[in-house]
Structure 1
Amino acid sequence: MKQTCLTADFEAGKRLFLKQLQGKIVNLNLIRLKEVADYSEHPELQSKETISGFDDYQKYIALTLPFLQASGGKILYIGTGDQFLIGPQEERWDLCMLIEQNSVADFFAFEQNPEYMKIVGHRTAAVADSRLLPLQNL
């Protein structure tokens, strides 16, 4: 069975921290969305109407943006995707995002913000699978 990835585990976060990257990083995000948002893990965030994974992820982005900006981060690019031109043809990604952070420490501060954590359930409800690759300039 193919592994799905929704959040970073402790060891992955530790490896990123121990690299001691200096300066800005850009996170490459590949997102596969659910057809319908599933709030079974976060019923307190669910609205009365049924919402698509795409629409719910747009809500998540809108709610997240103030926390991202407060941490010094910004969205460099967001666009829709599909299947790879070069890559596994069975994989498809609905959204691709490039998110810039001033540092790894700023990224971790953003991710661990208690107020941000209150809305992250919108992401969980919308996302079927994801990849996050931190990039550093050469």
Structure 2
Amino acid sequence: MGEYTQQQGYLEPTDKSSVAMFKRQLKGEVVMLNLLRFQDVADYRNFPALKPQEPISGAAAYKKYMAHAGPILNRHGGELVFVGDGGHFYIGPSDELWDLAMLVKYPSQQVFIDFTSDPEYLAGIGHRSAALADSRLLPLSPKMP
């Protein structure tokens, strides 16, 4: 699970990427850079209990995810810092197009872990999975110059 294929982008962490993040032992705040590419039509085949009656776009499914996850994020002390329309890189691969970019701040790496393993959060994660064709999440740790 979490490996990249042509039909399915990077949607979940791999065991290897999870271990690598934990080994970093990020200190203090963690800001997660999210780059997101949506499905044209959300794919709920693995989440039938969450599937809307009528087909919806990946962007609409992601809005459902955000409506579900936002209050849980806030309860854990996390904060949505920035949300913006994506596009093509100014510097980077010219064939990569991202629909949305977000920065989400967590007080610590442990808070991120607690949030992403919260059973209430996990109950709605299917909206995210159904919405996305591809994603990148990069944990950032503040560094003093």
Spell out, residue by residue over 1:57-105, the C-alpha distance to the aligned partner (whole angstroms, 9 max, x if none). 0111111001111111010000111111111111100000000000000
Does structure 1 residue 7 correspond to structure 2 residue 35?
Answer: no
Residue of structure 1 aligned with 2:116, choices 91, 111, 115 = 111
Q: Which consecutive residues of structure 1, in runs of 5 or more, have no partner in the other structure? A: none
Does structure 1 residue 98 correspond to structure 2 residue 103?
Answer: yes
Q: Which residue of 2 aligns with 1:49?
A: 54
Shift of the alpha carbon at 1:12? 1.2
Superposition map of 1:1-138 within 5 A: 4-138=9-143
Shift of the alpha carbon at 1:34? 0.3
Distance 1:66 1:6 in 2: 22
Q: Let me know the Cα RMSD of the aligned residues.
A: 1.2
Q: How many corresponding residue pairs?
A: 138
TM-score, length of structure 1 as denominator length = 0.96
Shift of the alpha carbon at 1:17? 1.2
Percent identity reads 43
Q: Which consecutive residues of structure 2, in runs of 5 or more, have no partner in the other structure? A: none
